[in-house]
Amino acid sequence: MCNLNEKCPLLILDVLIMLSTGTSAWAQGPTYDLLLKGGHVVDPANHVDAVADVAVSGGKVAAVERNISANEARKVVDVTGLYVTPGLVDIHVHVGNGGAPLDWFEPAAPAHVAPFGVPADLFLTWGVTTAVDAGSSGADTFLSLKESVMDHSRVRVLAFLNIEADGMNGGLEQDVDQMNAERCAATIQKYSPYIVGVKTAHYWTEKPWDELHPPWAAVDRAEECGRRAGVPVMVDFWPRPPERSYDELILSKLRPGDIHTHVFAQQFPIILEDGKLNPILANARKRGVIFDVGHGAGSFWFRNAVPAVEQGFLPDSISTDAHLGSIIGPAVTMVNVMSKFLAMGVPLEEVIRRSTANPAREINHSELGTLTVGRPADIAVFDLLRGNFSYMDDGFARMNGNAQLNARMTILGGRIVYDPSGLSMVEWRKAPKEYFTPPKRGRDPASRADTYPRE
């Protein structure tokens, strides 16, 4: 027998090396946990738009290459003819109770708005792996959002913190005294892994100005919080010129990196009377202002969106403003909103960019929204259907189109969390013996056709 310092036949030396490191050529398992094979990968962050395989190991993206051998993976999913993208990032949603007080139904409650947040894990059925609650909670109520939703959701939930300490719909949204920039910033810094920015919304849209309600109070205090905490501000805004104009908002008040959501809402002069795109949009974009869709149930009109897109103005990010009133109505799902832009003629790669890499960058989480090797294996798989489809806006108008996205599978941190058509599953008649073996007791693990993690 020779040792590692002697000259040995190559095979014997290889075996000795493997034994010395605790491995064996015959015991080594597959290189990858999961392999998505044959799909059309669209990863704008890495300028990938081609047929390729995506491999996952240890919850991370391990490889994006052509023709990875199926023998190298424990689980292989044939996604030929489908599109494989990073998990979608929806930066405008509402989860949990949506800011409504828990006792909203009591006569003595401070507000009587019923809870309207969406169950967070529903987003996984849309291909969304990161959802950002847009201001449902403020400094006084954030911990409730964290403990009731963030800590228990499979989907990654982040948040914009409302400048109003009580958050949305708690009955205090118009109370300027509750808009404490210092306390807002302190809360963001304390919970920095969870909070990505500041949100202001719904402030003083109708009544006359008075000493307690100056025109720019909510925006100015949100901006002060954003500066203190070093985070962007997302603005939901209703112009009331001349004291509070849209021009002043996007050309003066907002900083580079701040986000104007609901950009195609009816109240904004996106399209001028002559049908031309308002030039202030280009000027604001040069300043670094971000324009987000935030579709919702009252913030998206084709008469603004379509002419803008036709004249080359695309939103920086696509988001749903998902809440119970919008997912049952016009916004429906993230893929539905994305499909509306496909129907307007926006190329698929640009739609994916504005649903992955762009929003991830806007919230300063560039590790998300990409299939870069080593990043979290958050992946979405889609069909792109061609045919006759139609879509609605918030003014109950219809637009016809010839394209529609359909979410087929969602992978979060390497786990298959949504696969309604069984892309990753064996045909039941071909399942192993374990699938046909019922458990002996009610609490025994259920029989399964494979052991790949899906919870």
Task: Report which of 300, 345, 297 is spatially closest to residue 318, judged by C-alpha positions.
Answer: 300
Report the alpha-carbon distance of residue 439 to residue 392 in Å, rounded: 48
Report the alpha-carbon distance of residue 415 to residue 33 in Å, rounded: 10
Report the alpha-carbon distance of residue 371 to residue 408 in Å, rounded: 18
pLDDT given at position 116: 80
pLDDT given at position 248: 98
pLDDT given at position 319: 98
Task: Report which of 302, 355, 298 is spatially closest to residue 329, judged by C-alpha positions.
Answer: 298
Yes or no: say if 42 and 87 are a contact pair by the CB < 8 Å rule. no
Report the alpha-carbon distance of residue 268 to residue 237 in Å, rounded: 9
pLDDT given at position 12: 37
pLDDT given at position 5: 38
DSSP summary character for residue 277: B
Report the alpha-carbon distance of residue 408 to residue 413 in Å, rounded: 17
Report the alpha-carbon distance of residue 36 to residue 434 in Å, rounded: 25
pLDDT given at position 103: 67
- Cα radius of gyration rounded to whole Å, the chain: 25
Read off the pTM.
0.91
Show the tokens assigned to 97.
């109770």
**Residue 323, Cβ neighbours under 10 Å: how many?**
23
**Residue 38, Cβ neighbours under 10 Å: how many?**
17
Show the tokens assigned to 361.
């960058």
Percent of the chain as helix, strand, coil, to the nearest 5: 25, 25, 50
Report DSSP letters for 402-415, one per residue. EEEEEEEEEEETTE
Please list the pLDDT of the chain residue by residue as tens digits (455 residues).
Answer: 343 333 343 333 333 333 333 444 334 679 999 999 999 999 999 999 999 999 999 999 999 999 999 999 999 999 999 999 999 999 999 998 767 777 667 787 777 777 788 999 999 999 999 999 999 999 999 999 999 999 999 999 999 999 999 999 777 889 999 999 999 999 999 999 999 999 999 999 999 999 999 999 999 999 999 999 999 999 999 999 999 999 999 999 999 999 999 999 999 999 999 999 999 999 999 999 999 999 999 999 999 999 999 999 999 999 999 999 899 888 789 999 999 999 999 999 999 999 999 999 999 999 999 999 999 999 999 999 999 999 999 999 999 999 999 999 999 999 999 999 999 999 999 999 999 999 889 889 899 999 898 87
pLDDT given at position 117: 87
Ordered by where they begin, the domains of the chain are: 87-376+389-403 (3.20.20.140)
pLDDT given at position 171: 79
pLDDT given at position 20: 39
